[in-house]
Chains A and B, each alone.
Chain A
Amino acid sequence: METKEFIEQLAEAIDVEDVESLTLETKFRELEEWSSLAGLSVIAFFDEEFDKTVNGAELRACNTIQDLYDLATK
């Protein structure tokens, strides 16, 4: 998956309306929409799109959208 599509789908998963505001450098934890429940949406997104199972520690180690992309695609 290209990074542009990744960002779009991530935005949808965590209910961020202004997709244009997101870049790979965005620190997603600082987003107003971010919460532990949004974390679950990210996990579901990883599962559905990448068949990827991640644990809480792996997700907690991520700070930027680039980190999430790397985790999903590595």
Chain B
Amino acid sequence: MAFSKISNVAIRGIAACVPAHTEENIDSLPVFKEGEAARVVAQTGIERKHTIESGSGVTISDLCAKAFDVLIEKLEWDRESIDLLVLVSSSADYITPPTSNVLHGRLGLSEDCLCYDIRQGCPGWVVGMSNVSSMVSSGNFKRAILLCGDASTLMSSPLDKEMRPLFSDAGTATALEFDTSANDMEFQHGCRGKAFEAIITPAGGLRNPVTEDSLQFKSYGENLVRRDIDCKMDGMGVFSFGLSVAPKSLQSLLDEFHIAREDVDYFLFHQANQYMNTKIMKKLKLDPDKVPFSLKDFGNTSCASIPLTLVYKCREAYETREVNSVACAFGVGLAWGSFHFKTNKIVCPELILY
């Protein structure tokens, strides 16, 4: 098991930004047969999603930049004081250069700053927190911002019933600071690379470059219409995977670091769908009051889903008191991770609309 404990890093604040534009699942999306929408809404728990308007030109860097601006203003951090900027995303602005570098210029950060992208999907926030906190832990970097989000609707087909009702777009910012008095952070990570095709965008990378053919919409069954440049998902395989690994990952973290579940205030799960998340919660026998859901209004926002849920459902608690949290994420890779962290009155602005 890949466990890690990281000291000397405090979370100072978390902000989340979503597009103001929404899409209601109950309205007859072009991917539903008659009567199907209500059934899908009931089982997934997803009523609406905040989505980037097609053709608006908005990207994940716009959402993350907005979250960044609001967060550091509330923190009263000088931009010059930030020496590490990391973006976790699968939705790059350009093939080259890294989107974090583009954002570095746009956000007006100091040239004395390390910037890099981490390409991850659903497990991204846990992977990003593990990575950035490791960098800060040594004291070489004092202030870091982890941007984390995906524009999934721009990378999947609007005519694919396995994608459109589920995914939406969000960008988040998490502020971390070197602090020798901070509580330890604890992580568990795992990867099942043999199953990489379970969630995949087949064309557009170098293995299968874009061709005229990969830009054509093709039908793979009723309401399963997509291009090879669109992301696709083996829904049943991913469901089975999540149900199996998420509870094991979370439980192993609790066991390894002797975390008593009654001491945990919130268990924050990646928001996949209601049916799956409820099954995972029940397998772990968690108190439902400690397991916030944001699926109803946002669906699955990939790597943004945990910080988004924290901001949307629990921001008052995080702003006003000490909170003991465990996060658990799973998906693209296939990969997973769990993360235990304690915060004390962090900055947590209201959800930002773009």
Q: Give A contacts to B, CB under 8 Å.
A: 35-37, 39-40, 43-44, 46-48, 53-57, 59
Question: Does any Cβ of A come within 8 Å of B243's Cβ?
Answer: yes
The reply to whether A47 and B244 contact each other, CB–CB distance below 8 Å, is yes
- Which residues, 244 to 281 on B, are CB-close (under 8 Å) to A? 244, 275-276, 279
Q: Which of A35, A36, A46 contacts B240 (CB 8 A)?
A: A46
The reply to whether B244 and A55 contact each other, CB–CB distance below 8 Å, is no
Contacts of B275 in A (CB 8 A): 37, 40, 44
The reply to whether B43 and A53 contact each other, CB–CB distance below 8 Å, is no
Q: Which of B200-208, B230-238, B285-293 contacts A (4 or more CB under 8 A)?
A: B230-238
CA distance A59 to B244 in the complex (A): 16
CA distance A26 to B239 in the complex (A): 25
Task: Contacts A36-B235, A43-B236, A54-B237 known; list 9 others, CB within 8 Å.
Answer: A36-B236, A37-B43, A39-B236, A40-B239, A43-B240, A48-B283, A53-B243, A55-B236, A56-B235
Contacts of A55 in B (CB 8 A): 195, 198, 234, 236-237, 240-241
Chain B min CB distance to A29 (Å): 13
CA distance A39 to B39 in the complex (A): 14
The reply to whether A40 and B236 contact each other, CB–CB distance below 8 Å, is yes
Question: Nearest chain-B residue to A43 (Cβ)?
Answer: B240
Q: Give B contacts to A, CB under 8 Å.
A: 39-40, 43, 195, 198, 234-237, 239-241, 243-244, 275-276, 279, 283
The reply to whether B40 and A37 contact each other, CB–CB distance below 8 Å, is yes
The reply to whether A56 and B234 contact each other, CB–CB distance below 8 Å, is yes
CA distance A47 to B237 in the complex (A): 12
Chain A min CB distance to B89 (Å): 26
Dominant SS among interface residues on chain B:
helix
Q: Which of B198, B236, B243, B276 contacts A59 (CB 8 A)?
A: B236
**How many contacting A-B pairs (Cβ < 8 A)?**
49
The reply to whether A53 and B240 contact each other, CB–CB distance below 8 Å, is yes
CA distance A54 to B234 in the complex (A): 11
Contacts of A35 in B (CB 8 A): 39
Chain A min CB distance to B130 (Å): 25
CA distance A46 to B279 in the complex (A): 13
The reply to whether A56 and B237 contact each other, CB–CB distance below 8 Å, is yes
CA distance A39 to B283 in the complex (A): 19
Question: Nearest chain-A residue to B247 (Cβ)?
Answer: A47
Question: Nearest chain-A residue to B198 (Cβ)?
Answer: A55
Question: Nearest chain-A residue to B161 (Cβ)?
Answer: A36
Contacts of B39 in A (CB 8 A): 35, 37
In the complex, 10 of the A-B residue pairs with CB atoms within 8 angstroms, ordered by the A residue number, are A36-B235, A39-B236, A40-B43, A40-B235, A44-B243, A47-B244, A53-B241, A55-B195, A55-B240, A56-B235
Most chain A CB atoms below 10 A, which of B40, B237, B275: B237
Contacts of A43 in B (CB 8 A): 236, 239-240, 243
Contacts of A57 in B (CB 8 A): 234, 237
Contacts of B236 in A (CB 8 A): 36, 39-40, 43, 54-56, 59
Chain B min CB distance to A72 (Å): 12
Contacts of A47 in B (CB 8 A): 240, 243-244, 279
Contacts of A44 in B (CB 8 A): 239, 243, 275, 279
Question: Nearest chain-A residue to B221 (Cβ)?
Answer: A36
Most chain A CB atoms below 10 A, which of B39, B198, B243: B243
Contacts of A46 in B (CB 8 A): 240
CA distance A43 to B238 in the complex (A): 10
